[in-house]
Structure 1
Amino acid sequence: MTKTSIATPEEPNRRKRTRTTKPKLRDGVMKRGSTWSYVIRVKDPETGVSKPRWMGGFPTEDEAKAARDEARVKARRGEYIDRNEITVAEYLDQWLESHAMEIKPGTLEDYRKGIRLYVNPYIGGLKVQAVRPSAITKLYRDLLKGGGRKGKPLAVSTVVHTHAILRRAFRDAVVVDQLIDNSPVERAKRPRVHMAEPGTVWTPAQLRAFLAVARRHRLFAFFHVAAYTGARRGELLNLRWADVDLDGKQITITGSAGVVEGERLEGTTKSGRKRIVSIDDETVTVLREHHTAQSADKLAAGEAWRGDKNGHVFATAWGKPIYPDTVTALPRKLINAHNDPKDGKPLAEPLPYARLHDLRHIHATTLLLAGVPVHVVAARLGHGDPAITLRVYAHVIRSAETAAADVFAKAIKAA
């Protein structure tokens, strides 16, 4: 005796609903779940046989169609790359090229170097879609263990910087290029780094001694302005006379100069924003004297002068912009001149060696110890967020806080 199944009234309707909601492919585009995908046929250059290539993860139908159209054009030109098969090295190369206009030249060169040295040798051959957080974590471990020169450990700060590059690139792989649904870099375990304290910080007396010996150099004004404004090297080398208001006692930082592959280039400031920095009467005098000296250089150079009316404030004797590494090397020479005087006079106190960038740290440290608010110091330095100043100069702020109780007590008694 066979059993006869009796369909309930709901079953035909349920089957009908299943048939009507089945995804349909329309002109190479279809919806899969909550996202859209496209498919095109690509001819294999070796066999000549065309095969379907799918790509998904697009949030809207229009975006899937736009990507489909772009892929079709590249397929006809023989330029199509299967994004499912693209490797980390291939993607990072394309990523750098596509974002070259958005990244400052110096930063772009830094990215290229970091990818070439610390990424491609380790995970460059992996497919982007096959990269897992564990692979990124292992990369960081390998770099810390032997990613430096001759297999030596790589500095934690360099590994953290590599992480920042990968984080930005893989974020674009998700949001912009839609190669993957989520970034493995975000879930990788990166090494922690503590913000390093500034290098050598001279006392006011030591700074005065340095500027006294620097006064004999034609670029004395550069070192004076660097110390009295806290501006970066590249910002001062980009400074034009049009950005200097001696009557208003201020300068406007509008851009920065740097070196990329041995070539001097100019671009925006580190934050991408211009800022106005006030200057004191002494700095106004120094700049006036420097302008007079530059006018004398122009007169002496005659037709060989390479500057213009609103040329660079700090320039060569014939008006050309100064190469950044020139001023970087000068502090050591000036310190040597101070510590080894040729006139035979006894040296009261030798100057400890400091970098050009340490003049910026001296400026910030002096202001913070004098009680200038952190947000004011941050604005002078060009820090986009006072929190950056707090992190970099935390040791200075802590030392100032130790006297806060006494300051408060004295203020109350004097009231």
Structure 2
Amino acid sequence: MACWILDRYMVMKAAHLVNAVWTKDQLKVFLRYAREHRLWTFLHVAAYTGARRGELLHLRWSDVDLDGKQFVIAGSASFVDGERIEGTTKSGRKRTVSLDDGTIRVLRDQHKMQAADKLQVGPEWRGGGDYVFTTVWGEPVHPDTVSSLFPILIKRYNKAHPDAPLPHARLHDLRHVHATTLLLAGVPVHVVAARLGHADPSITLRVYAHVIRSAEASAAEIFAQAIGE
């Protein structure tokens, strides 16, 4: 009973956050503004794949197939009591996520930047884990770094653009933007669920119920246009 109540609470909480999700235009504005930051690649990949923070910080280059336009999410990274901990994904399973051409270019640029960092740092380079996202010294990025950066960038943008501010959002909300955009574009729920790493499509159905209802509202017109009436 307690587990059911907790699950219900998490779904309701997530649904509430999705209601306040950014629009596609707001996401594009944010990513353009954040482009000069060295962690912009992380923000771009998070938005364009819907992957969780810990999953991306666990990602190795050996998991990335740039020619095949995909990567494998094999685990998740977090910090507990000041110690980096690596484990399985939330569902306990690996998953393959397809990548668009633009994200492939972004990842290629990330690889080049890392090579330049390594050359500049020289013997002080601390990278040995093949991580995709690292500090200038080659160490894996701390989860709090990307989470705290997100509101800072929003605040800076809003200060520079007071007439068209971005709504408050969290890093995790990029995942909601990704899911919402796919569902409204007509991507099947089970496909979105697999992409997000949901253990069961019913989770996706519950969390994004209002998005799915919105898409269903236009189903009658879409059918009529397809038939030609």
| Same structural fold, with TM-score higher than 0.5 when normalized by the shorter chain | yes
Aligned partner of residue 270 in structure 1, secondary structure: coil
Q: Determine whether 1:353 maps to 2:168.
A: yes
Match of 2:56 in 1: 236
Structure 1 residue 353, shift from structure 2 partner? 1.0
Q: Determine whether 1:253 maps to 2:73.
A: yes
Q: Which has the larger radius of gyration?
A: 1
* CA 227–191 in structure 1, closer or farther in 2 if over 3 Å, else same: closer
Structure 2: state its 5+ residue gaps: none
Greater fraction helix: 2
Match of 2:147 in 1: 328
Match of 2:88 in 1: 268
Structure 1: state its 5+ residue gaps: 1-159, 168-189
Structure 1 residue 204, shift from structure 2 partner? 1.0
Aligned partner of residue 215 in structure 1, secondary structure: helix
Structure 1 residue 348, shift from structure 2 partner? 5.2
Match of 2:192 in 1: 377
Find the aligned partners of 2:120 and 2:112 in 1 and give their Cα distance: 13
Structure 1 residue 262, shift from structure 2 partner? 2.9
Q: Determine whether 1:313 maps to 2:132.
A: yes
Aligned partner of residue 119 in structure 2, secondary structure: helix
Match of 2:109 in 1: 289
Match of 1:206 in 2: 26
Find the aligned partners of 1:402 and 1:221 in 2 and give their Cα distance: 36
TM-score computed with the length of structure 2 as normaliser: 0.93
Find the aligned partners of 1:333 and 1:302 in 2 and give their Cα distance: 31
* CA 191–321 in structure 1, closer or farther in 2 if over 3 Å, else same: closer
Match of 1:55 in 2: none
Aligned partner of residue 264 in structure 1, secondary structure: strand
CA-based RMSD: 1.8
Find the aligned partners of 2:147 and 2:163 in 1 and give their Cα distance: 26
Find the aligned partners of 1:410 and 1:213 in 2 and give their Cα distance: 39
Match of 2:227 in 1: 412
Aligned partner of residue 266 in structure 1, secondary structure: strand
Deviations along 1:147-183, one digit per CA (max 9) or x if unpaired, are xxxxxxxxxxxxx7xx23xx9xxxxxxxxxxxxxxxx
Q: Is the 8 A contact 1:198 1:361 kept in 2?
A: no
Q: Which structure is higher in RCO with an 8 Å CA cutoff and minimum separation 6?
A: 2
* CA 373–239 in structure 1, closer or farther in 2 if over 3 Å, else same: same
